[in-house]
């Protein structure tokens, strides 16, 4: 791979790539190979396409491109036919031969692969007609369906590294001005203006400065950073180089979760190719500026998403946060000024440089410009990654894009912001989603996790879940966080197991206040948001557990029982599968569960084909 | 016993730099499936850091294991999306099938049950990873079958 020496060389290389493609005349079939689609067999689909194209003599007419995540994980494996952007969903390897023969060869659209809208029964043939995509503004994610993340030339052909060349032309001062004017706010959760961070870091006198990309995406239920790194690693690298140039740093780190093996692999390939092309290393594009990036894998500690803990971890120490009387932009990694932004924030930088702050601020809201990527998951029809303009309402995101709740069940709550966020009830569905609004409502944007819950979700159990998570992840430095969360978890557990009294709630509220006030880092100070927000909005459910010893969501084991209803056909399946052998009944007769021996594993409900097992 | 020359070559690859401790431990674990005591001793000696620091790293970070693990690792994702779709029940199913608690290894060293906070494949929840292979939209019933199939495959060895 030849080094590109200067901006003119970059332009020429890009023209050459485009001309080659034009001459080749190949159409592209993009197969989503994100973690979700891979789990659904995407790699086999790619192999099947390659084999079939060879067999049917079409290898010169089509290019099979394994790409990053297209976002619509629910319907994987996704196959996108360019240039018309016809989307075939739930494609299995067995179906590939027919697709090649009928669609690629014969031009026939295969209806069985269209998206069928469960709400309306309508079928959609093209990506842009599907409600899931139609209401999105995919500034960052859009490229994921276009490029091969393991080929830097694919990124360059689409205009990649053009923003870097432009940044060198503008000079650091102007770039900083643009990022500040764009009011780019940190997408990792804090929402702090990136431009101000960059400026402070640049202005601290030091011989050495660091930039870091925080890819320690620890919030359970959030996976946008993983998908960006897997699908378009170069946009993050380009953003980091621009940031480093602006700040005056020659060394960068990406701290990425070890639980994301594919992201680590694709990022490492991308860095290697960026070095070969001369975007990393000495004298980048003839600018005289030198910079390189290293990858550090995390150790599976949630608290390492906190900046000081993350930096301690890079230094080879235990990831405990420290007090930030002096901020990391002043004294961070190895005591030097360090600018840390998360993956999605860095991915926004090339866009801002390329298209300008005026364009960027025309998207989103005044206080929160641009877009935000959400992972829309849980009890929602169209689960996946969603990129929406800031200011969209929760209702638009969950119902217009997400297609509502499966099985016609009722929406109960949406949890935003991960373990530091809160649960918002149906009455808050018309809230506009941006950094400030959610904060005012006792939740937060966080990294963009959006977990939808229906009437079969127990809100007390959800609070218990997050407390359990946080007590485990607390680093143990502050007593209030270490001991307080443990006690809070016990108190909530008392309620879910039928031992709670109304005094328990008072005790929880009192203790939560102490944990908030006396913990050092954001893990502790926001840890009580899930419990405070569920108490605020779903107090009835707590009371049902306490007064009636009843779990309305049908989740808390100690308070529920399984029953077989009249709909039972006596098929014997549940009786056979019951691990305790406590279901009795003759063939074709109504079965019954021996409640004294039932361990409430729920298998009978899972295996019943007639919906005749219910939780009460 | 772990071959200590392997540990040495991992350390050399990072230039005997104590800042690379996390990465060194990760590579050693990838090699040995856990962190053997003799490997930790060696790292401490080579990097010139106290064994207590290595031990504190190894116990602080969730990724590390001080005990040998089974040939087959069953990892249940406990992320929020998987949780609301019933991940806990999958852990319980594995515990019943394998007759061990989560985090433990079967006496024949075949299976280990592990929990992970979130693997970011939320759309497929609840999710279980068996030997690196992702199984989405899992039910307790199907999970039993997967475990049985893995046991059968490995049975002859």
Q: What percent of chain A has pLDDT over 90?
A: 81
User: CA neighbours within 13 Å on the CB side: how many for A213?
Assistant: 38
Shortest Cα distance, chain B CAs vs residue A377, angstroms: 6
Q: What percent of chain B has pLDDT over 70?
A: 97
Q: Do A299 and B86 touch (CB under 8 A)?
A: no
Shortest Cα distance, chain B CAs vs residue A453, angstroms: 7
Q: Do A319 and B60 touch (CB under 8 A)?
A: yes
Residues of chain A found within 8 Å of residue B118, distances taken between Cβ atoms: 218-223, 259
Q: Do A39 and B21 touch (CB under 8 A)?
A: no
Using the Cβ of A71 and the Cβ atoms of chain B, whether some distance falls under 8 Å is answered with no
Over its C-alpha atoms, chain B yields an Rg (Å, rounded) of: 18
Best B35, B59, B123 residue to mutate vs chain A (most A CBs within 10 Å): B123
With b meaning 16 or more CB within 10 Å and e meaning fewer, what string describes A533-561? bbbebbeebbebbbeeebbbbbbbbebbe
Q: How confident is the model at residue A73 (pLDDT cuts 50, 70, 90)?
A: confident
| Residue A397: both structure tokens together | 């995101």
Strands A562-564 and A613-615: antiparallel
**Dihedral sign, Cα of residue A308, residue A233, residue A353, residue A140:** negative
- Give dist(CA A69, CA A90) in Å, integer: 14
Residues of chain A found within 8 Å of residue B20, distances taken between Cβ atoms: 316
Closest Cα partner for B123 from A457, A384, A405, A450?
A384
- Give dist(CA A501, CA A543) in Å, integer: 9
Cα angle for residues A384, A386, A387 (degrees, 5° grid): 160
Across the interface, which of B17, B84, B120 has its CB nearest the CB of A379? B84
Nearest CA in chain A to B21: A316
- Give dist(CA A465, CA B84) in Å, integer: 10
Which residues have CB under 8 Å from A399's CB, separation 6+? none
| Residue A571: both structure tokens together | 């098929």
User: What integer pLDDT is reported at residue B18 of this predicted model?
Assistant: 86
- Give dist(CA A34, CA A492) in Å, integer: 37
Closest Cα partner for A371 from A399, A351, A400?
A351
Q: Do B85 and A35 touch (CB under 8 A)?
A: no
Residues of chain B found within 8 Å of residue A299, distances taken between Cβ atoms: 22, 25-26, 57, 60-64
- Give dist(CA A402, CA B111) in Å, integer: 38
Contact B90, B76 (CB under 8 A): yes
Instruction: For residue A358, count other CB atoms closer than 10 A to its CB.
Output: 10
pLDDT, tens digit, for every residue of B73-131?
A: 999 999 888 988 889 999 999 999 999 999 999 999 999 999 998 888 888 889 999 99
Shortest Cα distance, chain A CAs vs residue B131, angstroms: 13
Q: How confident is the model at residue B157 (pLDDT cuts 50, 70, 90)?
A: very low
Across the interface, which of A39, A259, A475 has its CB nearest the CB of B124? A39
Q: Which residues pair with B74 in a beta bridge?
A: B113, B130
Residues of chain A found within 8 Å of residue B60, distances taken between Cβ atoms: 299, 301, 318-319, 475
Type and span of the H or E element at A439: helix A435-440
Q: Backbone phi, then psi, for A139, in 5-degree steps? A: -70, -40
Q: How many Cβ pairs closer than 8 A exist between chain A and B?
A: 150
Which residues have CB under 8 Å from A247's CB, separation 6+? A172, A198, A201, A202, A209, A211, A339
Contact B110, B151 (CB under 8 A): yes
Q: Is A119 a residue whose pLDDT tops 80?
A: no
**Dihedral sign, Cα of residue A6, residue A12, residue A15, residue A17:** negative
Question: What is the arrangement of strands in the sheet containing A338-342, beginning at the earlier edge strand?
Answer: A292-297, A251-256, A210-215, A338-342
Preceding omega of A77 cis (within 30 degrees of 0) = yes
Residues of chain A found within 8 Å of residue B84, distances taken between Cβ atoms: 378-379, 451, 453, 457, 462
Best A69, A75, A220 residue to mutate vs chain B (most B CBs within 10 Å): A220
pLDDT, tens digit, for every residue of A501-552?
A: 999 999 999 999 999 999 999 899 999 999 999 999 999 999 999 999 999 9
Q: What is the DSSP track for B20-40?
A: GHHHHHHHHHHHHSS--HHHH
Nearest CA in chain A to B86: A555
Shortest Cα distance, chain B CAs vs residue A190, angstroms: 21
Closest Cα partner for A5 from A405, A375, A282?
A282
Q: Do A315 and B19 touch (CB under 8 A)?
A: yes
Contact A71, A80 (CB under 8 A): no
B window 90-119, beta carbon within 8 A of A: 92-93, 96, 116-119
Closest Cα partner for A286 from A445, A164, A106?
A164
Q: Do B120 and A577 touch (CB under 8 A)?
A: no
Which residues have CB under 8 Å from A72's CB, separation 6+? A78, A89, A130, A132, A133, A382, A384
Residues of chain B found within 8 Å of residue A384, distances taken between Cβ atoms: 123
DSSP, collapsed to helix, strand or coil, labels residue A29 as: strand
- Give dist(CA B62, CA A467) in Å, integer: 17
pLDDT, tens digit, for every residue of A304-331?
A: 999 999 999 999 999 999 988 999 999 9
- Give dist(CA B35, CA A301) in Å, integer: 17
Q: Is B156 a residue whose pLDDT tops 60?
A: no
Q: What rounded mean pLDDT belongs to chain A? A: 93
Nearest CA in chain B to A378: B81
Across the interface, which of A227, A314, A451 has its CB nearest the CB of B81? A451
Q: Backbone phi, then psi, for A206, in 5-degree steps? A: -165, 150
Q: How confident is the model at residue B61 (pLDDT cuts 50, 70, 90)?
A: very high
User: What integer pLDDT is reported at residue A441 of this predicted model?
Assistant: 84
Q: Is A235 a residue whose pLDDT tops 60?
A: yes
DSSP A397: I
Q: Backbone phi, then psi, for B75, in 5-degree steps? A: -110, 120
Q: Is A99 a residue whose pLDDT tops 80?
A: yes
A window 343-402, beta carbon within 8 A of B: 375, 377-379, 383-384
DSSP A78: P
User: What integer pLDDT is reported at residue A190 of this predicted model?
Assistant: 83
User: What integer pLDDT is reported at residue B17 of this predicted model?
Assistant: 84
Q: Is B154 a residue whose pLDDT tops 70?
A: no
* Count, residues in chain A: 616
Shortest Cα distance, chain B CAs vs residue A53, angstroms: 28
Nearest CA in chain A to B65: A299
Type and span of the H or E element at B60: helix B51-60
Q: How confident is the model at residue A27 (pLDDT cuts 50, 70, 90)?
A: very high
Using the Cβ of B66 and the Cβ atoms of chain A, whether some distance falls under 8 Å is answered with no
Q: Do B96 and A301 touch (CB under 8 A)?
A: no
Best A34, A39, A89, A578 residue to mutate vs chain B (most B CBs within 10 Å): A39
Q: How confident is the model at residue B155 (pLDDT cuts 50, 70, 90)?
A: low
DSSP, collapsed to helix, strand or coil, labels residue A456 as: coil
Q: Do B124 and A449 touch (CB under 8 A)?
A: no
DSSP, collapsed to helix, strand or coil, labels residue A565 as: coil
Mean pLDDT lowest among A9-13, A333-337, A447-451, B35-39: A447-451
Closest Cα partner for A162 from A3, A290, A288, A4?
A4
Nearest CA in chain B to A469: B117
Q: Which residues pair with A377 in a beta bridge?
A: A451
B window 10-49, beta carbon within 8 A of A: 17-23, 25-26
Instruction: For residue B101, count other CB atoms closer than 10 A to its CB.
Output: 10
pLDDT, tens digit, for every residue of A491-507?
A: 999 999 999 999 999 99
């Amino acid at each position: 791979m030849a080094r590109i020496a200067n901006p003119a060389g970059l332009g020429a290389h890009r023209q050459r790539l485009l001309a080659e493609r034009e001459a080749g005349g190949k159409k592209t079939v993009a197969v989503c190979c994100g973690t979700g689609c891979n789990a659904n067999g995407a790699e086999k689909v790619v192999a099947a396409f390659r084999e079939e194209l060879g067999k049917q003599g079409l290898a010169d007419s089509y290019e099979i491109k394994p790409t990053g995540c297209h976002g619509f994980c629910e319907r994987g494996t996704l196959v996108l036919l360019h240039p018309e952007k016809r989307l075939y969903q739930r494609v299995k390897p067995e179906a590939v031969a027919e697709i090649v023969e009928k669609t690629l060869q014969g031009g026939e659209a295969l209806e069985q692969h269209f998206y069928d809208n469960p709400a309306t029964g309508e079928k959609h043939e093209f990506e842009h007609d599907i409600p899931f995509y139609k209401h999105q503004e995919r500034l960052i994610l859009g490229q994921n369906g276009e490029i091969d993340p393991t080929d830097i030339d694919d990124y360059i052909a689409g205009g990649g590294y053009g923003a870097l060349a432009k940044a060198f032309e503008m000079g650091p001062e102007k770039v900083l001005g643009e990022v500040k004017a764009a009011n780019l706010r940190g997408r990792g959760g804090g929402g702090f203006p990136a431009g101000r961070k960059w400026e402070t870091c640049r202005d601290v006198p030091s011989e050495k400065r660091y930039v870091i990309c925080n890819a320690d995406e620890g919030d359970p239920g959030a996976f946008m950073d993983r998908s960006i790194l897997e699908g378009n690693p170069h946009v993050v690298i380009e953003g980091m180089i621009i940031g480093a140039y602006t700040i005056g740093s020659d060394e960068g780190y990406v701290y990425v979760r070890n639980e994301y093996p594919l992201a680590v692999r694709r990022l490492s390939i991308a860095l290697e190719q960026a070095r070969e092309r001369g975007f990393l290393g000495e004298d980048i594009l003839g600018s005289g500026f030198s910079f390189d990036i290293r990858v550090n894998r995390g150790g599976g500690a949630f608290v390492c998403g906190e900046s000081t803990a993350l930096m301690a971890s890079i230094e080879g120490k235990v990831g405990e946060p420290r007090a930030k009387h002096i901020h990391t932009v002043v004294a961070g990694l190895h005591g030097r000024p360090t600018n840390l932004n998360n993956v999605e924030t860095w991915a926004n930088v090339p866009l801002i440089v390329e298209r300008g702050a005026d364009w960027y601020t025309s998207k989103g809201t005044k206080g929160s410009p641009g877009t935000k990527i959400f992972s829309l998951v849980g009890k929602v029809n169209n689960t996946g990654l969603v990129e929406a303009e800031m200011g969209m309402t929760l209702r638009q995101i969950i119902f217009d894009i997400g297609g509502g709740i499966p099985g016609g069940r009722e929406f109960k709550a949406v949890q935003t912001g991960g373990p530091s966020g809160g649960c918002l009830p149906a009455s808050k569905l018309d809230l506009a989603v941006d950094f400030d609004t959610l904060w005012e409502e006792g939740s937060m944007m966080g990294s963009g996790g959006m977990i939808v819950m229906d009437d079969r979700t127990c809100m007390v159990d959800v609070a218990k879940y997050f407390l359990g998570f946080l007590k485990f992840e607390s680093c143990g430095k502050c007593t209030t966080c270490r001991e307080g969360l443990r006690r809070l978890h016990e108190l909530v557990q008392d309620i879910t197991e039928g031992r709670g009294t109304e005094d328990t709630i008072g005790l929880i509220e009192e203790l939560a206040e102490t944990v908030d006030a006396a913990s050092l880092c954001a893990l502790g100070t926001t840890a009580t948001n899930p419990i405070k927000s569920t108490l605020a909005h779903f107090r009835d459910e707590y009371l049902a557990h306490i007064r009636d010893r009843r779990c309305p969501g049908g989740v808390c084991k100690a308070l529920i029982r399984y029953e077989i209803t009249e709909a039972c056909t006596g098929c014997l399946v549940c009786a056979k599968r019951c691990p305790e052998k406590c279901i009795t009944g003759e063939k074709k007769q109504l079965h019954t569960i021996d409640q004294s021996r039932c361990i409430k594993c729920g298998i009978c409900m899972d295996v019943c084909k007639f919906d005749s097992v219910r939780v009460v | 016993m772990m071959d200590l020359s392997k540990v040495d070559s991992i350390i050399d690859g990072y230039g005997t730099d104590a800042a690379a401790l996390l990465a060194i431990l990760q590579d050693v674990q990838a090699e040995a499936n856990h962190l053997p005591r003799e490997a930790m001793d060696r790292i401490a000696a080579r990097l010139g850091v106290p064994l207590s620091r290595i031990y504190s790293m190894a116990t602080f970070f969730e990724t590390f294991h001080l005990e040998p693990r089974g040939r087959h690792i069953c990892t249940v994702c406990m992320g929020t999306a998987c949780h609301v779709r019933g991940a806990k029940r999958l852990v319980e199913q594995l515990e019943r099938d394998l007759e061990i608690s989560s985090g433990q290894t079967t006496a024949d060293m075949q299976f280990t049950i592990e929990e992970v906070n979130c693997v970011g494949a939320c759309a497929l929840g609840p999710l279980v990873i068996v030997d690196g292979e992702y199984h989405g939209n899992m039910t307790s019933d199907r999970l039993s079958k997967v475990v049985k199939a893995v046991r059968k495959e490995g049975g002859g060895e």
